[in-house]
Amino acid sequence: MSDNRVKGYAQAMLNVAQAEGNVTGISNEMFSVAQAVSSNEELRSTLTDNRIPANRRQQIVEDLLGGKASNATVGLVSMVVGAGRAGELPDIANALAAMAANQDGRQVATVRSAVPLSDDQQQRLAAALKQNTGQDIDLKVIVDESVMGGLVTTIGDTVIDGSVRSRLSKLRETL
Amino acid sequence: MYDIITVLAAEGPNGWFIPADPKELYYGGAAFLIVMALLSWKVLPVIKKGLNDSQQAMVDEGASADIALADAQKEEGDLRASLGDPQAEGKRLVAEAHEAANQLRLDSHAKTQQMVNDAWAKAQGDVVSLKTSVTSDLSGEVSTKALTAAEAIVANNLDGPAQTDLIEDYIQKVASA
């Protein structure tokens, strides 16, 4: 999907979220749904399979998210899946998060961790990142077991890699 | 003479030798002389020329035979000269054959020696290459096993407290950066 199309979908979602008065909530839910689709191969292949009728794929989305996310989020995800763009859902969610954060003068920081972060850890990490960047941080945590341990933070084009995986990779290169 | 002829003619009744009319003798003699003159004038030169040509041809053939004989003798001389001494020629040929065989043996030996040297050099290169390759493979294998073991050990030790320590350490480093 081209950048323009991703931004177009993200902008449309932002408009809906603003109309609903729940930009942060819908943005967070979209981000979570996108991560779930990315990390689940079976779900991703089902939602991106164009041989399955669009209404059937949309029904799967509504069944999965019903009661767990806002109606607006369910509708937006259903719209993307019905349009055959489920594969681009992570890019759209990231663009939406960036737009929502920029609207409030914040910057999105994506954090990958092998284990979930507590609220306290997230707050302290956001504060530490704000101290470095000078901007309020909208933290998006992704649980990724491939990290093994530690954290990998991405802010824009900057990557702060403190993961065990990267240390082992460096060890492999040294050997 | 005329009288005798006249007498004979008068005595005999027209014999087989003497014609009845003596004038025939005159006419015959004159005719004979005319024929002889014509023969001497026209035919004799032709015959003489033919004999001369034949004689010249025989002379020419003789000369050609002499020339052919001389050529044959010269060729014989050349052949004999080229043959020289058969025994000496035979020895020379045998010596040449020996020399050629010896040279061939030397060439073959040198070629074989070169092949052996090349094969030896290639074998040495292969050994070095194989040694390097095996060493590299072994090193890579050891590294892979060491890393696999390290990953397994790290994974086993990354329990809850260890994960928390790593996260806290990361937050502190970001804060102090």
B154:A149 CB<8 A = yes
DSSP 8-class letter at B39:
I
Using CA atoms, how far apart are residues A42 and A54, in angstroms rounded to an integer? 17
Using CA atoms, how far apart are residues B42 and A149, in angstroms rounded to an integer? 149
> 3-state SS string over A33-75?
HHHHHHHCHHHHHHHCCCCCCHHHHHHHHHHHHCCCCCHHHHH
A162:B150 CB<8 A = no
Using CA atoms, how far apart are residues A18 and B73, in angstroms rounded to an integer? 133
Q: Percent of chain A at pLDDT above 90?
A: 39
Q: Does position A153 have pLDDT exceeding 60, yes or no?
A: yes
Using CA atoms, how far apart are residues A119 and A81, in angstroms rounded to an integer? 32
Q: Does position A16 have pLDDT exceeding 90, yes or no?
A: yes
Name every chain A residue with its beta carbon within 8 A of the beta carbon of B173.
162
Residue-wise pLDDT for B105-149, tens only, equals: 999 999 999 999 999 999 999 999 999 999 888 888 888 888 888
* Average pLDDT score over residue span A120-133: 91
How many beta-carbon pairs below 8 A join chains A and B?
A: 61
ipTM, 2 decimals? 0.76
Using CA atoms, how far apart are residues B125 and B52, in angstroms rounded to an integer? 98
Using CA atoms, how far apart are residues B4 and B44, in angstroms rounded to an integer? 35
3-state secondary structure of A13: helix
Q: Percent of chain A at pLDDT above 70?
A: 99
- Nearest CA of chain A to the CA of B174: how many Å? 6
Name every chain B residue with its beta carbon within 8 A of the beta carbon of A114.
158, 163
Closest chain A residue to the Cα of B164, Cα to Cα: A150
Closest chain B residue to the Cα of A163, Cα to Cα: B166
pLDDT at B101: 92
Name every chain A residue with its beta carbon within 8 A of the beta carbon of B166.
149-151, 162, 164
Name every chain A residue with its beta carbon within 8 A of the beta carbon of B150.
168, 171
Using CA atoms, how far apart are residues B34 and B13, in angstroms rounded to an integer? 30
The answer to whether B40 contacts chain A (CB < 8 Å) is no
DSSP 8-class letter at A87:
G
A125:B154 CB<8 A = no
A150:B150 CB<8 A = no
Give helix A71-82 / helix A89-103 axis angle, nearest 10°: 140
3-state secondary structure of A161: strand
The answer to whether B163 contacts chain A (CB < 8 Å) is yes
Q: What is the mean pLDDT of chain B?
A: 85
pLDDT at B7: 63
CB atoms within 10 A of CB A39: 14
Q: Taking an 8 Å Cβ-Cβ cutoff, which residues of chain A contact chain B? A: 113-115, 117, 121, 124-125, 127-129, 131-132, 148-151, 153, 160, 162, 164, 168, 171-172, 175
| Backbone region of residue A153 per phi and psi (left: phi > 0; alpha: psi in -120 to 50; beta: other values) | beta
The string over B103-121, giving b where at least 16 C-beta atoms fall within 10 Å of a residue's C-beta and e elsewhere, is eeeeeeeeeeeeeeeeeee
Using CA atoms, how far apart are residues B170 and A111, in angstroms rounded to an integer? 12
Name every chain A residue with its beta carbon within 8 A of the beta carbon of B160.
115
pLDDT at B9: 61
Segments in chain B below pLDDT 70: 1-20, 84
| Tokens (6 digits) for A110 | 């994506």
Q: Which residue has the higher pLDDT, A66 or A121?
A: A121
Q: Is the dihedral of CA A25, A28, A34, A36 positive or negative?
A: negative
Cβ atoms of residues A126 and A109 within 8 Å: yes
B170:A172 CB<8 A = no
Q: Which helix (H) or strand (E) holds A83?
A: none
Cβ atoms of residues A62 and A74 within 8 Å: yes
> What residues have CB less than 8 Å from A60, skipping those under 6 apart?
A46, A47, A81
Name every chain A residue with its beta carbon within 8 A of the beta carbon of B177.
132
Name every chain A residue with its beta carbon within 8 A of the beta carbon of B167.
113, 115, 117, 121, 150-151
